[in-house]
A and B are shown apart, each in its own frame.
Chain A
Amino acid sequence: MDKAREQEIVNEIASMHIEGHRKVPDEFGLFEIPCDLRGYRVAQGEILRLSLEIVRLLLRNGIRAGRFGEGRGLDFWTGMTEDQIVEHIRREWQAEGEPILGKSICWFG
């Protein structure tokens, strides 16, 4: 898959989440992003890299990352920069494997 196509996919998925969140502000897990990429038949070896690119686009467009607090909504990582969030996700992903429901690393909202 060439770079232009990759960028197109990244933009489409990020736009889908950004627009979706504007219409219906539901939380969504990081694990949804690799699922979305697979829908575009992205190779497994590229899933992490492109997921992180999508995360960057989400963060730059007002979507916030965080984790659920006990018995309450998302606690956003307000003290972390974009780079720190992406790096945190990268490290957890590499340590834990691809996020799935129940092991999502982070959620967006």
Chain B
Amino acid sequence: MGVIKLDGLSFEQPAAEPWPPFLDNGDEHTIRVDEMFARQLDNEFSAGVRGLLHDPETGISAQRGEAALEAIAGALPALNELKERTLAEAMGPRQRSILEPLIETRLDWAAGTLGQLAQRATVEVDDQSVAERITGLNRDAATSWQDPAYLRRLGRTAVEELRYQGERRGWDEVETEARARGGLSDLYAGAVEAAMGSDLDRAARLYDHAREVIAPERQTALDRGFVDAREGALLREIDGALAALPLDPKKPPEAQVFAARTEGLIPDDASPEMRTRIGQVAAHAQRRAERQWQNQQAEAGVAALDWLRRNPDASLLRLPWEVRDWLAPDQWDGLVDAATNGWVRTDPAVYERLDRQAVYAPKQFAGIDLDRHRLALGDDDYARLATAQQARAEGRIDPAQIRWAHTRVGLDRAIDAIGIDTDGPEAIAARAEARDRFDGFEAIEGRAPNGEDIDGIVDGIAGRFTPDGGDSFDPAYVIPAGGIRPRGSGSSGLPQSAQARVFTYRSHSDFLRRIEPNNPLLATISGRNAAPDQIVVDRMVAEVQAAVSRRIDRLVGSPDNYIGTAGTKPTIREIPGGRSAANELFDKLSFGGTRFTPRTGDYSRDGVIVRLPGNGVIVGFRINAQNQPTVDIYHNGIQLKLHYVK
């Protein structure tokens, strides 16, 4: 077994100790016992040596490179210590004399193994050192690709380094040269790749110059890289040209403009795949331009409003042209309206659309540029939507928006169940009222609406679409006093619009018959079951209106001759007779009308409000703050207040 000479490891035989006198008389049994014990100690020593050298985790053979050399240097003291410890356990000179040669044999073996491990570790350290130097040279080459002379020096150094490594490792000439060519190939290929990222033309020249030293497989990769880089450069060039197309404030960027500009930039020899990619770049550029165009409009809207607030008395003609040019017609209209009124008025259609998205498609709503609609949204509405959008974008919960969404969804479902078109004008008006009630609730009640309050808002508004529900009056569903429904109402198979005409005509003609039985128009009523024309319906409604006016004039007098005496103004009258007289007049005035519950908070204290057929006449009875019975009459835009005194 070959060994290497290591410092501290002695290969000399230790000096023999003088034999102590035999105390055991040298009998055969005692000799066997000593031999057995000595071999047991040898086994233990052997296990210790094996562990030190070959333990899978901590043994020296498990280490590599520098770590292995350090472990080998520490192994000799450890082996000597193990030897001394083992010999010290031997009892008597015979055991020691048996054990010592055995241990020396083990140490010879360990020294040989350590030599092999040291040689392996030395090679590993050397290889690692060479690899690091080659890596450094390659890095230098990648950063110095513009300097051919320096590249050549780096290449020579790399080749020399690898050849010297071959000598040390004992490689044959073929292997050494192969490795040297591989190293040179890597160095130049890396330089070419680095050059491709900076200057494609100079990279190509370098590649042409260095091609013969670059390995074929690296050449294939570089060739592919040059194709990709040239395509990428062309795509960037086209993208840049498309980005430079000017935006026209008057119209959004059009696809055909981008396509035409792109066509002039496509090389004749472009492959179909390349043409496809160019098409994708053009489409992307057009979408980007559209976003920029929309952003410009949105920013112009905000800028215009800011300008108007800073210059409230200035003519809009003085609005900076770069802002004015970018305003879309609807934004300009909004700006003119804001300048006229002094504040931005909400466009109901815009608000309705945005609110629908906020409630039913919150993800899409979060992506909308609200600034684009700044001139179509009043400050409160804009702030409300912006708050909801911000909360959505940040993943927060906006309690007010949750409550409103609950309100809107409930109302939409309710009116949909009734059969009303949820996108129609009635539904939009209903939602606007719900919104106002919702907004006003906290200001008036001092707290946010809870579920019950929201249900109340929904029920109150949706209910008015039903014949006998709701909290306000709808002339389409007049129920004459006494609860009598018009004849044949809702029973025909006519279209809905025709049914409405029949309903209106019959309810008004019934009422006219009751207050003016001899009215000539009643004689014209046909016995046919067909729906009357709208002209006929309108004529009946107008006649009812006139009949109501005549009746009011008969009961309370005309504007220049009202009953009673004038109060603090001509339309406030003081009338004697107390409550009974007030009741009598109210009963006459409200005859044939429809009692309805006014909106919450309006005239609800011990009061009764009745609306008469014929558009717009409303009479009410209440007890006023002075405990006086009071009859209110709202008639053709005139309000008459009758206080009944005792």
- Residues of A whose CB lies within 8 Å of any CB of B are 16, 19-20, 23-29, 31-32, 34-36, 38-39, 66-75, 77, 79-80, 84, 88, 91-92, 94-96, 100-107, 109
A102 touching B637, Cβ below 8 Å: no
A35, B643: Cβ atoms under 8 Å? no
Q: Distance (Å) between the CB of B478 and the closest chain A CB?
A: 14
Residues on the B chain within 8 Å of A28, using CB: 641
Residues of B within 8 A of A (CB): 345, 378, 380, 432-433, 435-436, 439-440, 443-444, 446, 472-473, 567-569, 571-572, 596, 598-606, 609, 611, 616, 618, 620, 624-626, 628, 630, 632, 634, 637-639, 641, 643
In the complex, the chain B residue whose C-beta lies closest to that of A38 is: B637
Q: Are A103's CB and B568's CB within 8 A?
A: no
B436 & A24 in contact (Cβ 8 Å cutoff): no
Whether the pair B472, A68 counts as a contact (CB closer than 8 A) is: no
CA distance A16 to B639 in the complex (A): 15
B639 A102 Cβ-Cβ under 8 A: no
Q: Are B569 and A72 in contact (CB under 8 A)?
A: no
- For A74, the chain B residues whose CB sits under 8 A away are 625
Smallest CB separation, B600 vs chain A (Å): 7
Whole-angstrom CA separation of A9 from B439 in the bound complex: 32
Instruction: Rank and list the top 7 A-B pairs by shortest CB-CB distance, nearest first.
Output: A67-B601, A20-B568, A101-B634, A102-B598, A35-B639, A101-B618, A26-B624
B378, B443, B632: the one within 8 Å of A84 (CB): B443
A90 CB to nearest chain B CB (Å): 9
| Residue numbers in A under 8 Å from B569 (CB-CB) | 16, 20, 36
* A68-B601, A77-B443, A96-B433 known, 15 other contacts, Cβ within 8 Å: A16-B569, A20-B568, A23-B568, A24-B568, A25-B625, A26-B625, A26-B630, A35-B571, A67-B602, A69-B604, A70-B604, A79-B443, A100-B618, A101-B603, A102-B472
CA distance in complex: A20, B643 (Å):
13
Find the A residue at minimum CB distance from B346.
A94
Distance between A45 CB and nearest chain B CB, rounded to angstroms: 11
- Main secondary structure on A side of the interface with B: mixed
A26→B625 CA distance, assembly (Å): 5
Pull 17 A–B residue pairs with CB atoms less than 8 Å apart, ordered by A.
Answer: A20-B567, A23-B568, A24-B572, A36-B569, A71-B605, A71-B606, A80-B443, A92-B436, A95-B432, A96-B433, A100-B616, A100-B634, A101-B618, A101-B620, A101-B639, A102-B599, A103-B599
Are B643 and A24 in contact (CB-based, < 8 A)?
Answer: yes
- Nearest CB of chain B from residue A80's CB, rounded to whole Å: 6
Residue contact B603 to A29, C-beta cutoff 8 Å: yes
Task: Give the chain B neighbours of A69 by CB distance below 8 A.
Answer: 601, 604-605
Contact A67:B472 (CB < 8 A) given known A24-B567, A102-B618: no
**When the two chains form their complex, are residues A79 and B446 in contact, meaning their CB atoms are under 8 A apart?**
yes
Q: Given the interface contacts A24-B567, A73-B625, does A103 sit within 8 Å of B602 by beta carbon?
A: yes
A35 & B436 in contact (Cβ 8 Å cutoff): no
A31 and B634 contacting across the interface, CB-CB below 8 Å = yes
Given A67-B444, A88-B443, A35-B638 contact (CB < 8 Å) = yes
A107 touches B602 (CB 8 A): yes
Contacts of B472 in A (CB 8 A): 102-103
Interface residue from A36, A91, A102 paired with B596 (Cβ < 8 Å): A102
Whole-angstrom distance from the CB of A22 to the nearest CB of chain B? 9
CB-nearest residue of chain B relative to A98?
A: B637
Within 8 Å CB of A27, what residues of B? 624-625
Q: How far is the CA of A15 from the CA of B567 in the complex (A)?
A: 14
Interface pair B603/A34, CB less than 8 Å apart: no
Contact B625 A109 (CB under 8 A): yes
State in angstroms the CA–CA spacing of A47 and B567 once bound together: 24
Inter-chain contacts of A73 with B (CB < 8 A): 605, 625
The reply to whether B626 and A26 form a contact with Cβ atoms under 8 Å apart is yes
Complex CA gap A51/B643 in Å reads 24
Task: For the complex, give the distance between the alpha carbons of A101 and B639 in Å.
Answer: 8
In contact, A101 and B632 (Cβ under 8 angstroms): yes
CA A35 to CA B380, docked complex, whole Å = 29
Q: How far is the CB of B17 from chain A (nearest CB, A)?
A: 110
A36: B residues at CB distance < 8 A? 569
Which of B380, B605, B616 neighbours the largest number of chain A CB atoms within 10 Å of its CB?
Answer: B605
A32 and B643 contact, CB distance less than 8 A:
no
Contacts of A66 in B (CB 8 A): 601
Closest to B633 in A: A101
With a cutoff of 8 Å between Cβ atoms, the chain A residues found around residue B435 in the complex are 95
Q: Choose from A19, A39, A70, A92 the contact partner of B568 (Cβ within 8 Å).
A: A19
Question: B606 — which chain A residues lie within 8 A by C-beta?
Answer: 71
B residues near A105, Cβ cutoff 8 Å: 602
